[in-house]
Amino acid sequence: MARPRIGVAVSGGLTAPEIVDCVRRAEDLGYESAWVAEGHGGDQFAILAACATATTRIRLGTSISSVFVRSVPTIAMAAATVDALSGGRFVLGLGSSHRVQVEGEHGLPYAKPIARVRESVEAIRSLLRDGEVAYRGETITIDRFDLWFTPHRRVIPIYLSALFPPMLEVCGELADGLILTWATREAPARAAAHVAAGARRAGRRPEDVEITSLLPCVIADTRAEALERMRPAVAMYAGFFPRYNRLLAEAGFPDAARAIQAAWQSGDRSGAARAVPDAMAAAVGVVGTAAECRARIEDYRAGGLTLPIISPRARGAGARAAFEDAIRACAP
């Protein structure tokens, strides 16, 4: 009997060598994929290149790479490089990121995110397929760029991050997979309906778009301890990112989302964490004892999630141990 498919994602907290070691360990434990975010956690393509040379089977992906902070040729070349080093095991996860990151943290303009994602996908695919690209769109203009090497694969799978119907439908039109995050148990089925609408509009089969989700994960000796450790992460995302605040409000927590945002904007980080109710902390990830977390992953599968991707929330002292505990506990 085949093992159930499960991935693991890293979103910071570990050094690059630690990530490589943990991805190697995840491969040994039977994980089918490992995903690396960027944000503030290190250069994702450099880390994935190191992972590629240290592993032989596990798929490797970005979750996600922002279409605003790198150019189309840079993204395409980075993807082709990791794909070649991994022998064709790479998945390019792309997304629009957030205005507060792109403008506030990178000092770059942020506008028309859906058009930017769509045009980035088109131009990246053209460059990899043809070895050169000239593109004029609403948000991207490239006079000409050519590759001075031959990609290992001319077609690399592209997954898109999406939270709300417009981008979910674009995912159905263009992508090989969807990457959700901070998803409730019901979210994958709702998202799949919008992905299917976009796929049918483009003449594609909805089942050809894989539905994945990053699942924030905290494992502890007791459920109460795990919930307490999850609270700061939920507070940061709901407090700092307007889009995630909206997502959590629409997931059934409008009062908590408002309270978290108000505390965060006033500079009260601990107050924002205290405003996260147990139900919210439990609803948007995999939280509890090892047995409870394994059961929760199966519940997500039953709800229509094709590929669960645990994303251990590990920061500070003991981060590596916490990460390793999570991948052992949730291994297929």
CATH code, domain with 94: 3.20.20.30
Q: Mark whether 153 and 281 lie in a shared domain.
A: no
Q: Mark whether 178 and 320 lie in a shared domain.
A: yes
Q: Mark whether 36 and 59 lie in a shared domain.
A: yes
* pLDDT for the residue 315: 85
Q: Is residue 228 situated within a structural domain?
A: yes
CA angle 168, 170, 175 (to 5 degrees): 95
Q: Mark whether 13 and 92 lie in a shared domain.
A: yes
Q: How many residues make up the chain in this entry?
A: 332
* pLDDT for the residue 244: 98
* pLDDT for the residue 268: 98
Closest CA to 51 of 93, 95, 43: 43
Q: Mark whether 51 and 169 lie in a shared domain.
A: yes
Q: Is residue 125 situated within a structural domain?
A: yes
Q: Mark whether 180 and 306 lie in a shared domain.
A: yes
Q: Is residue 89 situated within a structural domain?
A: yes
Q: Is residue 274 situated within a structural domain?
A: yes
Amino acid identity of residue 154, one-letter, is R
pTM score above 0.85: yes
Last residue of a domain, one of 273, 288, 303: 288
- What residues contact 269, with CB distance under 8 A and at least 6 apart? 232, 235, 236, 239, 263
Please count the structural domains in the chain: 2
The DSSP 8-state label assigned to residue 59 in this structure reads E
Distance in angstroms (rounded) separating the CA atoms of residues 117 and 113: 6
> Are residues 297 and 5 in contact, defined by beta-carbon separation less than 8 angstroms?
no
Q: Mark whether 237 and 127 lie in a shared domain.
A: no
* Host domain of residue 149: 7-216+295-329
> Are residues 62 and 33 in contact, defined by beta-carbon separation less than 8 angstroms?
no
Residue 222, burial from CB neighbour count under 10 angstroms (0-12, 13-18, 19+): exposed
Q: Mark whether 263 and 119 lie in a shared domain.
A: no
Q: Is residue 1 situated within a structural domain?
A: no
Q: Mark whether 207 and 313 lie in a shared domain.
A: yes
Q: Mark whether 190 and 249 lie in a shared domain.
A: no
| Residue 292 token pair | 């409870």
Q: Is residue 199 situated within a structural domain?
A: yes
Q: Mark whether 228 and 324 lie in a shared domain.
A: no
Q: Mark whether 12 and 157 lie in a shared domain.
A: yes
The DSSP 8-state label assigned to residue 110 in this structure reads -
Q: What is the pLDDT along the chain (332 residues), one digit of tens a residue?
A: 678 999 999 998 999 999 999 999 999 999 999 999 988 999 999 999 999 999 999 999 999 999 999 999 999 999 999 999 999 999 999 999 999 999 999 999 999 999 999 999 999 999 999 999 999 999 999 999 999 999 999 999 999 999 999 999 999 999 999 999 999 999 999 999 999 999 999 999 999 999 999 999 999 999 999 999 999 999 999 999 999 999 999 999 999 999 999 999 999 999 999 999 999 999 999 999 999 999 999 999 999 999 999 999 988 888 999 999 999 999 99
Q: Is residue 264 situated within a structural domain?
A: yes
The phi, psi pair for 8, rounded to 5°, reads -135, 140
